[in-house]
Amino acid sequence: MSGLTSSEFVRHAAAALERVRNTRPRVHCLMNTVVQKLVADGLSAIDAIPSMTSSPEEVEAFVEKADALSVNLGTLDSQRRTSITLGVSASARLGRPWVLDPAHCDYSASRATFAQQLLREGTPILRANEAEFWLLQVSDDVVGVRTGKHDVVRKGAQSITIENGHPLTAKVTGTGCLSGAVIAAFLALGEDPHLSAASALLAFGVASELAADHARGPGSFEPALLDALHAISPDDILKRARISHDQG
């Protein structure tokens, strides 16, 4: 884990949350059409600044103005493929960090092929659920994030496992997509991508636990998650973090 002990990593994550709040990174999202609002609201709640437009004519300009890019393949059509290809190339050319969520690539071979092509551009972070994750190959310099009951953030032989979270998170459509966008906000800090991705997921997992304290089910969990992303403090991370790591 880049030479850090577990407690040093937790302190890093707490401080990274504070830096996101203070620097207000711009995150451009090429997001599926199902969960645009949740993702934009979740980014705003942690004090990042979202933009969501996906027209091919404008995508390069938006990527240029952004600090990081979040790409999601959930509702792929031909125009969106064009925008994503342009956005990802611009990101790689400009050296902007970017995150790929290959949503539902396990349902469609052509989507999986497209995801695999995109992963060759720049140095992305892959954020995927279990089924999607195992379908794709990531090179050793790409950070691979596999979410689920525990989130595993791997780079080469090094991995950080985040045990924080709540099962209600999986009952709200779009939380996986939002977790990818939150990773992009932390990547925008320009720090070690492995630590940034793990810090983002630790903050997201702790926020999910805070939200669950105020929820009666998925319907009330969704707004509670936005409230928790707004309210979560570095201290919450220091007090609640449950992580383990493997230096490989």
Ligand X SMILES: Nc1ncnc2c1ncn2[C@@H]1O[C@H](COP(=O)(O)OP(=O)(O)O)[C@@H](O)[C@H]1O
Which residues contribute to the site for ligand X (CB under 6 A)?
Answer: 129, 147-149, 151, 165-167, 169-170, 175-176, 179, 204
Nearest residue (CB) to ligand TZP, 139 versus 173: 173
**Smallest distance from ligand X to CB 164, Å:** 8
Give bridge partners of residue 154 from the DSSP assignment.
Answer: 144, 159
Amino acid at 180: G
d(Cα 221, Cα 228) in Å, to the nearest integer?
A: 10
Placement of tokens 């220091």 in the chain = 238
Site for ligand TZP contains 205 (CB under 6 A): no
**At its nearest, how many Å lie between ligand TZP and the CB of residue 180?**
8
Closest approach, Cβ 81 to ligand TZP, in A, equals: 15
Q: Which is nearer to ligand TZP, 108 or 247 (CB)?
A: 108
Give the DSSP letter of residue 55.
-
Question: Token pair of 140, please?
Answer: 């050793």
Which residues between 174 and 193 bind ligand TZP (CB under 6 A)? 174-177
Q: Which of 10, 14, 16, 35 binds ligand TZP (CB under 6 A)?
A: 35
Q: Binding partner of residue 56 among ligand X, Mg ion, ligand TZP, none, CB under 5 to 8 Å per kind?
A: none
Containing H/E element for 30?
strand 26-30
DSSP string, 115-179: HHHHTTSSS-EEEEEHHHHTTS---TTSEEEEESSSEEEEETTEEEEE----GGGGGSTTHHHHH
Return the structure tokens found at 103.
Answer: 């949503």
Q: Are 41 and 234 in contact (CB under 8 A)?
A: no
Q: Within its chain, how far is the Cα of 151 from the centroid?
A: 11
Rule CB under 5 A: say whether 176 interacts with Mg ion: yes
CB under 6 A: which stretch of 63-71, 171-179, 225-233, 235-243 binds ligand TZP?
171-179
Q: Which does 151 bind (CB under 5 to 8 A by kind): ligand X, Mg ion, ligand TZP, none?
A: ligand X
With contacts defined by CB under 5 A, name the span among 83-91, 98-106, 155-163, 207-215 that binds Mg ion.
98-106
Subset of 209-248 contacting ligand TZP (CB under 6 A): none
DSSP 102: -
Task: Give whichever of 122 and 176 is closer to ligand X, judged by the CB atom.
Answer: 176
Report the candidate in 225, 248, 233 with the shortest Cα–Cα distance to residue 13.
233
Q: Which residues bind Mg ion (CB under 5 A)?
A: 103, 176
Q: Which residues bind ligand TZP (CB under 6 A)?
A: 32, 34-35, 74-75, 103-104, 173-177
